[in-house]
Chains A and B, each alone.
Chain A
């Protein structure tokens, strides 16, 4: 098969502790150097926490796999300094089209408003993504990447975890205060611990063919129900970099996965789709089935699960890696504060609360898409076909067409870390919501709010057209000098020369956050809203900050 990418080989170097036999206690060991594990490692390093990353293999993802990366994951990677490289290499897109037969029945725009730094989606082969993450991790002295290091057992002690790690040089012990299992859907850590991974198995098979060709399809997601080239089944088309195209064909449960992978079976399917005179080469072929399932709890003592090891979804909606990255984003700041003695250990339970809620939302969406694409009963198929038939002429039915509801970040509506609103605000920036971007000018340079939210707590004070009252500035300076990592910024309508001010010259910040002069927002290190008020109240802000780091607040 054709190869547009040559796989790197990461060499195994025995660690000091393996060579000398002196077991060291690490604050954090991450199992798995995939997108989620590497994201967590980069975030820990940024917060000054040294991490060891163990990976059983010595290269990146084999095959393009995940492909679609959503805005929220890209925002996390941008904060970690690696997002732009992905966007530059990736195919940026935001439009999805759904066809029934040869007619378009539905179109969606995943980012209909202007003025955001990060695009709605990019398509990028997972091997590039991991390659970029590894390159970024290698720049840090705080990240110890250990390849060909397979965890074969995990034992929890009262205040640490002991892992037995198998390498080309034999088996040795590694100790950690905390272990994060990012070792994928087939997580060996999860199996060692005997944890149940429950959910639904879907009886259908899908063929992925990555083909290399020159084509003039637009950079959009195209999905077909019952296309002329693949009757009674669905098909999907996505553009990737390097003239690689992702084709996905529904095969049905009775298809033989080994037979379907053979080029003599794949090539006619691709030709039927592209036309017999379109030259192409096969890059990668895979047949998959899928399941929607999750762990009941993502924290088990000192072992925490993140990404596919904790929850698995169908691919429709791109909710796999795109929910694993927010897991890491959610967990790392909390664990860093716990390690630093600045937050109670119970803060880690909010990781579980918030990300289980996200997993439920993702599984619900993914299951609904799958039920539409692969109806499980005769009547389910009748309704599905009726929706597709009506969608041609009836606008209401288009909203029911479900070819995958694409990944959006979860609002932690019921999180114990939120301070419920006491004042009235309009718009989407409710406590628990992921902060939305807006253009701002800082130090005379144009930039973005998301660049300001740099992994610390952030307080935004809307100064409007006036100065920041002295007592407000004093209180906020006091908080910024306190034990928790925190920065504050005045949001001004025009340049006023206040230190650290964010000039909202386009007015988008005011609009998207419903700011009026005196409004205050407290935003968490993972860029989710913790609390907001119409008037500055130092005591209320302190209480909200306490609550956001897991201290019990008496009401």
Chain B
């Protein structure tokens, strides 16, 4: 069973963070939401494993309610 990897994996973490932020530049909140949804779908398919996705969703939801 694949496991969600939560150790640091980026060669250059600051570059990745900037990529995310830059991709939303000049977008309205609505457009950003749309971009995020498409990004999530693309990445979820790339992972291709419902268990890993479920684990990621569980971790992401922690502290929200």
Q: Which residues of A contact B (CB under 8 A)?
A: 379, 382-383, 385-387, 389-390, 394, 396-397, 400
Contact = CB atoms under 8 A, between A and B. Distances in A.
B34 A397 contact: no
> What's the interface size class on B, roughly?
under 10
The 9 closest A-B pairs by CB, nearest first: A386-B37, A396-B45, A386-B38, A382-B37, A383-B37, A382-B33, A386-B41, A390-B38, A390-B41
Nearest to B30: A382
23 contacts: A379-B33, A379-B37, A382-B33, A382-B34, A382-B37, A383-B40, A383-B41, A385-B34, A385-B37, A386-B34, A386-B38, A386-B40, A387-B41, A389-B34, A389-B38, A390-B38, A390-B41, A390-B42, A394-B42, A396-B45, A397-B41, A397-B45, A400-B41
A396 B47 CA distance: 12
Contacts of A389: 34, 38
A130 B33 CA distance: 50
Interface in B12-62: 33-34, 37-38, 40-42, 45
Interface of B: 33-34, 37-38, 40-42, 45
Nearest to B46: A396
Contacts of B33: 379, 382
Contacts of B45: 396-397
Nearest to B39: A386
A386 B38 CA distance: 5
A397 B37 CA distance: 12
A485 to B, nearest CB: 44
A379 B40 CA distance: 12
Contacts of A385: 34, 37
Contacts of B41: 383, 386-387, 390, 397, 400
Contacts of B40: 383, 386
A383 B42 CA distance: 12
A105 to B, nearest CB: 14
Nearest to A396: B45
A400 to B, nearest CB: 7
A387 B38 CA distance: 7
A385 B45 CA distance: 17
A225 to B, nearest CB: 15
Contacts of A382: 33-34, 37
